[in-house]
Amino acid sequence: MRARAFATFLVIWIVAIAGVLVAHVQSTSFRQAASGREQLGAVRAKWAARAGIEATIARLGYNTESPDLGDAFRVNVDMEEVAYSTLDGADWVISHETKTGVLPGPADAHARLNVSLMTAQALSFIPLMTDDVVDAILDWVDADDDVRPFGAEYSYYLRDEYPYEPRNAPMRTISELELVAGAEPEIVRGEDWDLDDQLDLDENDAGASWPADNADNVLDRGWTEHLTAASWEGSQYGASGEPILDLAVAAANDLTSRLGVDRTQADAILAHSLTPGASVADFLTQNLAQLAQASGALGGDSRQASDLTDEQLALILDECSIGLPRSTPGKLNINTAEDETIEYIPGITLAMADAINADRAGRQTGYTSLMQLLEIQGMSRQALATLYPYITMRSNVYVVACRGRDRATGIEVELVATIDRATLPITIREISVR
């Protein structure tokens, strides 16, 4: 009897242990399965985000080679068409925040002024910008070690607890601005702490979590509202999609066929392009006869070279360079910039900024050539030449903030890529996971 009771107890004990083991195995298996589903969901979300970036690159590349010459916004519309889509159980969305709300598609890096192109006067107009920060920014990006009156160079930064050196070259990212003496991150970034042009939950919660914000459902970007370091010039392709014509090595026949000039005009253009320090902007400030006379291209008979028409000059500015295009800080696209940003263009007057903003509001297809600015009352070729180093109608660099979402788990992954169409294939300058 006792043996039978013991056997029964032993069986019950074994069953209980087995039950515990089975429960443990089930729990472990469930956790592993859940973890596996989450990992798979994260992979789906990430690759959906990457697919959105690749779709954007494909559209931008096509538009670079086959542009719509009559519509400056066609490239934006093309990229907006792939701002939402799906990929194998996951979705992606590409958007960016503006003053008017959330818009589909990538953010145009050229819609803001490149901080490395700014002058002291232009910087001083930026809200909360002080004289010491202005000088420190200019010291940071210039090539010399000379300290401006309120600026900072090597000796200042080497005294820091964690010493570093100023770049003495154009900034590579806008977050680099925070390394400049006196430039506080809270002023540089505002509420957009991750610099993704998105009003995230932690940026709109009345300061419940970092960063500090006012929960007004509007993204305050601080200085990045108007300033960037992401835009770059140096495109190898003209507005037509054809390779840039280098006037320093071109033949006269290239100019007559591409620019619609006659042979005498072509000879004068080519001769001036060989003079030291020549720039395509020179054709804005001086008529062709003057340039021909200065270069001696036509044997002293400068009257032979008729002046360039607005159409011919537009083609020179859009399709030509003198020397191979170099990578330099990007110009401001006056088609996509905010009205207030236009006011901070170096050398512009408030009256001219207002005139540009008023004129462009009535252009549904935007400006497709710089020479169209001459249609604005008060604008002259000389005034346009003053603005030429800072403005453009065609952007090279875009910031693609693409959020992938796995449908099964709801897991989201955001990729932020800076893409540049200055060369083909298009270059991804930077990519990060958020």
Domains observed in the chain: 1-112+331-434 (no CATH), 113-228 (1.10.40), 245-321 (no CATH)
Predicted local confidence at residue 29, as pLDDT = 47
pLDDT (0 to 100) of residue 201? 87
CA-based nearest residue to 230, from 115, 98, 137, 345:
115
> CA nearest 250: which of 271, 228, 234?
271
Task: Report the C-alpha gap between 80 and 78 in whole angstroms.
Answer: 6
> What is the mean pLDDT for each group of 10 consecutive residues in the chain (434 residues)?
59 60 50 69 96 97 96 97 94 91 94 98 96 98 96 94 95 96 95 84 86 87 95 95 96 95 93 92 89 69 76 95 93 97 96 96 95 94 94 97 95 96 94 88
Tokens for 303?
């009257």
Q: Determine how many CB atoms are found less than 10 A away from the CB of residue 416.
A: 23
Q: Is 217 left (phi over 0), alpha (psi -120 to 50) or beta?
A: left
User: Smallest Cα–Cα separation from 353: which of 332, 322, 325, 329?
Assistant: 332
Q: What is the pTM of this model?
A: 0.88
Separation of alpha carbons 55 and 85, rounded Å: 10
pLDDT of residue 136: 98
Cis peptide before 104 (omega within 30 of 0): no
Residue 199 CB neighbour total at 10 angstroms: 19
Instruction: Report d(CA 278, CA 282) in Å as an integer.
Output: 7
pLDDT in the model for residue 11 = 58
Q: What is the pLDDT of residue 37?
A: 85
Amino acid at 122: A
Residue 125 to residues 53, 105, 118, 121, 223: CA-CA distances in angstroms? 36, 30, 11, 7, 11
Q: Which long-range contacts (CB under 8 A, 24 or more apart) does 389-392 make?
A: 389/117, 389/281, 389/331, 389/346, 390/113, 390/117, 390/331, 390/332, 390/345, 390/346, 390/347, 391/331, 391/332, 391/333, 391/334, 391/345, 392/110, 392/233, 392/330, 392/331, 392/332, 392/333, 392/334
Distance CA 361, CA 357 (A): 6
The pLDDT value recorded for residue 295 is 72
In whole angstroms, give the CA distance from residue 394 to residue 68: 12
